[in-house]
Structure 1
């Protein structure tokens, strides 16, 4: 629809042209035809001038509109980016809140389970004390036997709560270790050992001992290795070297590895509360890796705890890596895809292919200190032991010297550029202390028995009956104080 201003301008131009024609006819004496020609010429000129001026005005208006549109688009993009950042921040807060809530729920559930176990222990302790009091009353009524009261305290079976407390004896700090070693060294027939392992698994009598791995030469704790122990129905300790072969033969190693992974993840979560840089090494049997059913169960558990993969190292024997089959290779690849790293222990020689190991996800190799410092290894292997750490480092593998028992070995290993060390010199495998896992700080000096001052006396922590010794918080600490003196 034509605008009113355009119509008004057209009328004005016609009037101006007509006025010009009349003026020329009246003043100049032009004829009517000539005056009409002059009027039409003037009208044509005015029309052209108006069209050109309107085109220029419209072009300038379009340019301004385009500039305004560009500025509006830029402002809209900035607002969208700002909304995206705010949305990402809100999502991060929601995820952190959900994680914190789940951690609190797990802590509450653990506290409740601790309280339940402590109540059971307290009931057992009270019942045992009542039996002892009844036996003492009967003994007081009857004539006391001669020469029997002295050994009685050593042969009377103590309740579970009492057995966890270290016995005070006038001996050095490590006097409890020989007794444990004696129990572990006691030979058992194969059927009896298999039955003991089955009962220990069914009753969840599995203990996790932690031995620190320290940085050299600072001796700051960087990792912990989880060492597995089983306890029979008499609370005698069965070492891993004694029951692993029997468990593999009896098809029980899958359950043991799954239980050990569960305990190690729990320990790692507690350690990371104090120190985010700490890690845990967990031993896995070759039989579990080769069994699809057992491995699937462990893989589901590790998938659920994928967030802890950078701090959770799965440890395998060197002999297993040298005879990998298609199934084992596929299972290792599945673990590596989920971010888990591997370690190799039980190294018997230094014929190592770092490139192949790095491709399979190996990031740590534990070599006995005696093997590294053995002069014969320089001729038996393709590389001198002093250059092994640099060679492994080129492929992202760290060398850990284990079984270090003397300061002289530490000095020699520093010349080999070894970054990590493990052994009785720093700390022996210890159960968790009552207030939680072992300290996450640096390793403390050791005495002649290899017992660091920073570690308390052993406190069993394997089965649910002993699990409350992992930490002492809130009501659990009060119940433990009530049950402990018994």
Structure 2
């Protein structure tokens, strides 16, 4: 459609040419034919001028449009290049994810292979027991004595453990079960044991699952009377707390545990020791001050020295006990909770207080009634605690079936008589090779005796599948 401006310009050119011819006719006296020719010629020139000027203007506009198109093409090329880069990055992430998935699959395949080996070992052990029963060979029954915390442990014989006799025989003389006593006799025995430093440390390993490699040791406290008879934990803890002696016992146990840890770390830097601390020690200002000074002097071991408290202690902390706990956490020490009676656990609150381990009995984890009694299914407890940096340890494991069930719960650590019972430290002169080394790694215990803590009488646990053998040697967990 012709634009209005073009029509207006054409009218104006006609008027200009007509005006020119009229002027020539009327003023210059030129004839009408000549005036018309001149007017027509002027109109032709005007038309040519207009056409040329419009062509030049259109060329300029086309040049600008071409420049704009070039810029748009360049922008489009840059966007395509950016999309290509992003696509390459996405492809790289997909490839890395696939490789990571392949690595995880390989790890799972390796664990399944290890589990298969353990199952084969279990099958061989069961077959050997069946052969023994078929041939009417008597087996020793486990001698058990109820003890919720700790029990006197007799070292295993050389035939049971595969360790030379010299590593276990020297400590067998003092491992006798104490007879029943009255409270007065127990109190006297505890006082004498504390005064004469007759406090022994037994070590029980905590192993990784399913590899069963020793990762930590728990220090179990034993007291000896003047006849070298052991006092069970249930016999002396309540009496020591009532008499105000539990703080001194904990302080002496901490000293021995640090000595043991230093010796163990000479051979393995990744090992750790769990040391039990009573609530009375945490709440007593004078006793706790001594323990804090000692732990402050050994802050270099804080990452490997774990202080263990009961679940009831954490649930009933007083303001003073909370401040003391925070003081320990500020010095880098980590905490563990044991004697767990239910799974109503607040992992965020525990993590804020410095708890990094929770020990739950295997029977409690595998109890189906806990599904309705707790806020979370037991099979999800390990993942929940792991999100807050807390490791779950299943304790009191006595059977291979429990290990298999716990692997479905993603439990990383285990402890119990299935792996190894609590065993005492070797006395002076005992070594893994049966020789003597009186000048190596001896620590005085204050009663004229020395104990070598360079090589504790605990060997790496082996999955024998025979929990009754361990219980026969050391009693219940």
Q: 1:197 to 1:354 in 2, by over 3 A?
A: same
Task: Give the 4+ runs in structure 1 shifted more than 4 A.
Answer: 165-182, 439-442, 449-452
| Aligned counterparts of 1:218 and 1:337: Cα–Cα separation in 2 | 33
1:208 aligns with 2:226: no
**TM-score, normalized by length of structure 1?**
0.56
Larger helix fraction of residues: 1
Contact 1:220 1:441 in 2 (8 A): no
Q: 1:172 to 1:334 in 2, by over 3 A?
A: closer
Which residue among 375, 379, 390 is the counterpart of 2:372?
379
Give the structure 2 partner of residue 269 of structure 1. 262
| Aligned counterparts of 1:333 and 1:170: Cα–Cα separation in 2 | 48
Give the structure 1 partner of residue 317 of structure 2. 324
Cα displacement (A) at 1:439: 7.4
**Cα offsets for 1:111-163 (capped at 9, x unmatched):** xxxxxxxxxxxxxxxxxxxxxxxxxxxxxxxxxxxxxxxxxxxxxxxxxxxxx
**Cα offsets for 1:280-319 (capped at 9, x unmatched):** 0000000000000000000000000000000000000000
Give the structure 2 partner of residue 437 of structure 1. 455
1:422 aligns with 2:409: no
In structure 2, the residue corresponding to 1:339 is in which secondary structure?
coil
Q: 1:325 to 1:235 in 2, by over 3 A?
A: same
Residue correspondence of structure 1 range 87-486 to structure 2 within 5 A: 183-184=177-178, 186-433=179-426, 434-435=430-431, 436-438=454-456, 442-446=460-464, 448=466
Equivalences, count = 289
| Aligned counterparts of 2:306 and 2:158: Cα–Cα separation in 1 | 39
Q: 1:440 to 1:168 in 2, by over 3 A?
A: closer
| Aligned counterparts of 1:246 and 1:446: Cα–Cα separation in 2 | 38
| Aligned counterparts of 2:157 and 2:275: Cα–Cα separation in 1 | 33
Q: 1:371 to 1:301 in 2, by over 3 A?
A: same
Larger radius of gyration: 2
Greater relative contact order (Cα < 8 A, sep 6+): 2
Contact 1:214 1:222 in 2 (8 A): yes
In structure 2, the residue corresponding to 1:183 is in which secondary structure?
coil
Give unmatched runs, 5+ long, in structure 1. Answer: 1-164, 459-486
Contact 1:427 1:451 in 2 (8 A): no
Contact 1:427 1:446 in 2 (8 A): no
In structure 2, the residue corresponding to 1:193 is in which secondary structure?
helix
Q: 1:337 to 1:425 in 2, by over 3 A?
A: same
Cα displacement (A) at 1:325: 0.6
Give unmatched runs, 5+ long, in structure 2. Answer: 1-153, 432-453
Q: 1:387 to 1:439 in 2, by over 3 A?
A: farther
In structure 2, the residue corresponding to 1:313 is in which secondary structure?
strand
Cα displacement (A) at 1:358: 0.4
Q: 1:215 to 1:400 in 2, by over 3 A?
A: same
| Aligned counterparts of 2:317 and 2:196: Cα–Cα separation in 1 | 34
| Aligned counterparts of 1:432 and 1:182: Cα–Cα separation in 2 | 16
Give the structure 2 partner of residue 477 of structure 1. none
Q: 1:376 to 1:451 in 2, by over 3 A?
A: same
| Aligned counterparts of 2:155 and 2:273: Cα–Cα separation in 1 | 27
Q: 1:302 to 1:169 in 2, by over 3 A?
A: closer
Deviates more, 1:323-332 or 1:170-179: 170-179
